[in-house]
Structure 1
Amino acid sequence: MRIAVAGTNSLALLIAHYVVTETSHQIVVLARQAQPRLANQEYQVLIVDYGHQGSLQHAVMGVDTVISTVTGTPEVELLKACVSQRVRRFVPAEFEGRPSSRAQDDPLDQGKNTVLAWLEHYRSQIESTVFCCGVLYERFGPGGLAAHGLGLLTQRAQEGDYIVNVRTMRANAPVYDANHQLNVYICLTAAQDVARFVVRAIDMPRWPKEMTIAGERMTVWDMTNIVIRVRGVPLNNPIWHTPDSLRSDLLLAQTLRDGARIARAHDHIATVGGRYDFQAPGTMRTMSRCRDIVPLAFEAWLRSVWSTHPVSN
């Protein structure tokens, strides 16, 4: 089969890598501009214009499955091109919590609900599934998601934007639920493992509407304590949030017109609401075809990426 991966961020390239190394399928990478490094690695790269249907339709001609890591209007246009060219399957650029865990008027939407609505509209013409993996470990790595080319339009992609800054050991964390209990859970998965599970799903005869993957599930409180253990120093004046304090923080951020702080407050409120939580280890890890995949532990991953970076002020 011919598989197309849309995007050149780290997750897209990990998916392409595992298609090449773990399957016999052909892979093509859809990019907005030339990628000499990928070409040198003998990847087939097609330059596409997401504002031009002819360009997209040509790129997906003869493709069986498209895996998207682009968002917003470009993703909608890509989906329409896939339907036009009778592509059999489409994976939207979700890769977070379950869509059912967020509201229709989700302030963190970034066009995701629109794509899901189009997928529902086209359900008789193209099969799709959402891969739900919770929070990517990479949010807590050097440079945050932005260092991997992920979440660049969200105002939530920089180092330390979510829960804790591992470099400076400063935390602004939604640890308390509505009952003031340390009971706020998140699922977390490394991008590398997400890519492996996505590629393993390519040959499934049928796709459910969503598939869940949890490398680990833990409370936000326990996650911050893992950070302390890995770094070997206490947190620097941490702020421990309740739902009420988060709402107050959001109001202040809106008054100050601080876009990054507004996005963080919304993200933390959604975290308390269960946006990134689901039953672990997830539906994919219980499938016989995936049981040989042992996800990276969060603590081991954190040690590996921060081992050469000292704590700084």
Structure 2
Amino acid sequence: MNPKSGFMLYLMANSKMRVAVAGTNTLALMISHAIVTETSHSLVILSRQAQPNLTSQGYQVLVVDYNDQNSIQHAVTGVDTVISTVTGLPELRLLEACVAQRVRRFAPAEFEGRPSARPSNDPLDRGKKTILDWLDYYKSSVDLESTVFVCGVLYERFGPGGLAAHRLGLNTSLCNEGDYIINCRTMEANAPVYNANNQANVYVCMIGVQDAARFITRALDLARWPREMTMAAERMTVNEIIDTVVRVRGTPLTSETWHSPATLRHELQLAEMFNDIPRQMRAHDHLATINGRYVFSAPGNLRNSAITRDIVPVRFETWLRSVWAGHVHVTEP
């Protein structure tokens, strides 16, 4: 094993723990499923409302009122590790409850690019920096261990219904089908292809939700959590992503707009002029893509770990063919 990956050296062998997954979106459910089927850890799912479908499958679900600290603290009593997929104020209150109940580990609702690659005045922040700042504080004050699971871009952004179909990113204005790079249904591309030097080599790292959930689950058994754990199934240029979509869908693009930082800044000005928030967020997201928000050294330190080497993640083209099988190309009127 590479001695530079020191955090991978010591595993929590034969250690059974209680894990709480906060949320019931697709990522949360995939993580929950992996914990139940691939580990000996006990699991509790935290949900804002009863989930009879999950309880009928044998999952333990605790209904949590994120406006009531007593409710949250009761839910995390005896929990070793919390994996959060809730965001904003509910996540902050969840973190406070974890500190009060001496939870040992907390993974915030990140699952995208590296926080270290973001600007200090990040327009895409949505309260994430606040959580990370509190995690830094609690690490030194109460020894709460945390990590950011870095997935880059989830494949599901390119699937039918986009992230919204999986109840992910619902408060971002970036969760709908076709919001990122290309609409795979209408075959309209609006893509951040060129970098500041006008070179078409803008890269992103990607992985599917199901594989990300399996990697995250394996990380539970690491004895030490580093600040960031990265995982990628693919590292592709934006052009390669578009070419893959065209090949899979079997039809050419119906429209194409290729962006550089300069054209995106102009796009942002127009969006601000018309107070078009979704358009602003798309421009910010594409600028962030050019600036390296979603790229890291692939396949990532978590994928390079000895405890994950048996996991072979699905390739983007294979995933894309699967989710779009049976969907016909639709031309916008």
For the criterion TM > 0.5, the same-fold answer is yes
Amino acid at match of 2:30: L
Please give the alpha-carbon distance, in whole angstroms, between the structure 2 residues aligned to 1:46 and 1:311: 42
User: Deviation at 1:79?
Assistant: 0.5
Q: Aligned letter for 2:109?
A: A
Q: Which of 38, 59, 62 is residue 54 of structure 2 equivalent to? A: 38
AA paired with 1:171?
Answer: A
- Write the letter of the residue equivalent to 1:253: A
**2:284 is the alignment partner of 1:266:** yes
Q: Offset at 1:285? A: 1.2
Cα drift, residue 308 of structure 1? 1.1
Partner of 1:203: 221
Q: What percentage of residue pairs aligned between the two structures are identical?
A: 64
Give the superposition deviation at 1:70.
Answer: 0.4
**1:116 aligns with one of 123, 129, 132:** 132
Q: Which residue of 1 aligns with 2:166?
A: 148
Displacement, 1:77?
0.6
The offset of 1:261, in angstroms, is 0.5
State the partner residue of 1:160. 178
> Does the residue aligned with 2:303 lie in a helix, a strand or coil?
helix
Q: Deviations over 1:161-201 (max 9, x none)?
A: 01100000001000000111111000001000110000000
Could you report, residue by residue, the CA deviation over 1:125-180 in whole angstroms, capped at 9, with x for unpaired residues? 21001010100000000000000000000000000001100000001000000111
Partner of 1:256: 274
Structure 2 residue corresponding to 1:25, chosen from 41, 49, 68: 41
TM-score (norm 2): 0.93
Aligned CA RMSD, in angstroms, stands at 0.6
- For the residues of structure 2 that align with 1:237 and 1:170, how far apart are their CA atoms? 5
Residue among 241, 251, 273 paired with 1:233: 251
2:304 and 2:277 map into 1 onto residues whose CA distance is 40
- 1:10 Cα shift? 0.1
**Residue 294 of structure 2 corresponds to which residue in structure 1?**
276
Q: Are 2:312 and 1:294 equivalent residues in the alignment?
A: yes
Letter in 2 for 1:222: E
The answer to whether the aligner puts 1:100 opposite 2:116 as a matched pair is: yes
Secondary structure class of the residue paired with 1:39:
helix
Query: What amino acid is aligned across from residue 204 of structure 2 in structure 1?
Result: I
Q: Distance in 2 between matches of 1:104 and 1:28?
A: 35
Question: Paired residues, what number?
Answer: 313
Give the residue type in structure 1 aligned to 2:75. Answer: A
Residues 178-193 of structure 1 mapped to structure 2, 5 A cutoff? 178-193=196-211
Per-residue deviation at 1:286?
A: 1.0
Q: Write the letter of the residue equivalent to 1:219.
A: T
Deviation at 1:267, TM superposition (A): 0.3
Where has structure 1 moved over 6 Å in runs of 4 or more?
none
The answer to whether 1:69 aligns with 2:51 is no
Stretches of structure 1 that go unaligned for 5 or more consecutive residues are none
Please say if 1:244 is aligned against 2:259: no
SS in structure 2 at match of 1:186 = strand
Q: Following TM superposition, by how much is the alpha carbon of 1:42 offset from its aligned partner in structure 2, in angstroms?
A: 1.0
- SS of match in other structure, 2:139: coil
TM-score by length of 1: 0.99
Q: Deviations over 1:232-264 (max 9, x none)?
A: 111112001111000000000111111110110
